[in-house]
Structure 1
Amino acid sequence: MQEKPDPLRDSPSYLLFELLRLARRTSARIFPGERVRLPHLMVLGCVARLGPLSQREVSEHLRMDAGDIVGLVDTLEEAGYVERRRDAEDRRRYALGVTEAGRLFLSAARERRDHLDALLFGPLAPEELEQFTHLMLRVLAHHDPRFTARPPGRPADRGSHAGR
C-alpha cells in the first residue's frame, strides 16, 4: 500500500511545532534531569537583564501568565539563582534579583544553548542559519514589538556554531 503525501508538511506552523518538539526532545536527551528549562531561563535572563523586577513586571515583559511566573521563580529561588527581596520603594511588594550563582548558571546555560543550537541546526550552513534566524525574528516582530530590535552580535554570531 502506497502512503499518501502528508498535507501538513507544507504548513510552516506545523513544521514549527515539530521543530519545537525536536528541540524539547533533544534538550531532554542531552541535559537529562535538568530542573531548569527554557521558561526558567527566560525568567532568569529577564531579571538579570532588567532587574530588580517584581514578578508582575517579569510576567508583563515576558507575556507569561503571572501564576506560571510564581512557580518558575519558586524553582529558581530553591536553586539559589534568584532572591525575592522587599522592594525599597514599596515594602508591600517583592523585587526579584539574580544571585551570583544565578549569573554563573545563566552563563553556563548559554554554553548549553549554543551546544543545543549546534546539534539542532548543524545541517544548515552559517549563512542559512543567519537567514533562518532573521526570518523567524521578522515574523515575531510583526506580532510582538519586543522582537523588532536585534541585540548586538545576533543572529550572525550564532551561525558560527552550526559547523561544530
Structure 2
Amino acid sequence: MEDRPDPLHDSPSYLVFELVRLIRRTSAELFPGERLRLPHLLVLSCVARLGPLSQREVSEYLRMDAGDIVGLVDALEDAGHVRRRRDPGDRRRYALEATEDGRLFLAQSRDGRDRLNDLLFAPLAPHELDQFKALVLRVLAQHDERFTAPPGAASGAASAQRTEIAAPARRRASS
C-alpha cells in the first residue's frame, strides 16, 4: 500500500478541529477529576467581567445554547462561584454575579491555564505563538465582533480587550 499524504492535513478547519480535540484530551490528562472545565471558566469569566448578566445575556454573548448555560451556572452556583439574584430591573429574571470565591477561583485557575498552554504550544517559539494567536484572532474577528480590536487599540493590548461585551450592556443602559 502506498503511503499518500492525508488530504485533510490541507484543511485548516480539520486541523483546528484536531487541535480542539488535543486541547480537551490534554486538559483532562493534566487536570484529572477537575469538575469545572473550560466552558465553566468561560461563563464565570463572562459574569465576573461583565455582570451582573442574565443567563440569556451570557448565552448570547458566549454564543452557547441556553440549555447548556443552565447546567454550567448550576455547577458554578453549587461550587459557590456564581450567585443568582433577582434582577432589580426586571423581577421576572435572575441576574448572575460572580462571588468573591468565583473571582479568586478564576485567578487561581490562571496558573493551570498557563501550564496547559505551555504544554500544548511548546513546539512554537514565542514569536510564532504570537503570530499564531494573531492569525486566529484575525479569522475570528472576520466572523465575530467580540474578537475585533477597538479602534486605535494596539494589537498586543487589544487582545485582552477584544471580548468586551456590547449588546447586553447597551440593553441594560437603555432600560
Cross-structure match for 1:161: none
Aligned partner letter, 2:101:
A
Cross-structure match for 2:168: none
Aligned-pair RMSD on alpha carbons? 1.5
SS in 2 for 1:141: helix
* Distance in 2, Cα, partners of 1:152 & 1:98: 25
Counting only pairs closer than 5 Å after superposition, residues 43-58 of structure 1 correspond to structure 2 as 43-58=43-58
Q: Are 1:152 and 2:157 an aligned pair?
A: yes
Q: CA deviation at 1:67?
A: 1.0
Structure 1: 4+ residue segments shifted above 3 A:
none
Q: CA deviation at 1:89?
A: 2.0
Cα distance per residue 1:8-66 (max 9 Å; x no partner): 11111111111111111100000001111111111000000000111011111111111
Unaligned runs of 5+ in 2: 150-154, 161-175
Structure-2 change in CA distance of 1:48 and 1:115 (3 Å): same
* Distance in 2, Cα, partners of 1:124 & 1:89: 48
Cα distance per residue 1:121-149 (max 9 Å; x no partner): 01101000000000000000000011002
Counting only pairs closer than 5 Å after superposition, residues 120-135 of structure 1 correspond to structure 2 as 120-135=120-135
State TM-score, norm by structure 1.
0.90
Counting only pairs closer than 5 Å after superposition, residues 1-164 of structure 1 correspond to structure 2 as 1-149=1-149, 152=157, 154=159
* Distance in 2, Cα, partners of 1:52 & 1:34: 26
Matched-pair identity in %: 72
Aligned partner letter, 2:145:
P
Structure-2 change in CA distance of 1:36 and 1:64 (3 Å): same
Unaligned runs of 5+ in 1: 156-164
Q: CA deviation at 1:154?
A: 4.3
Q: CA deviation at 1:77?
A: 0.5
Q: CA deviation at 1:3?
A: 2.4
Cross-structure match for 1:160: none
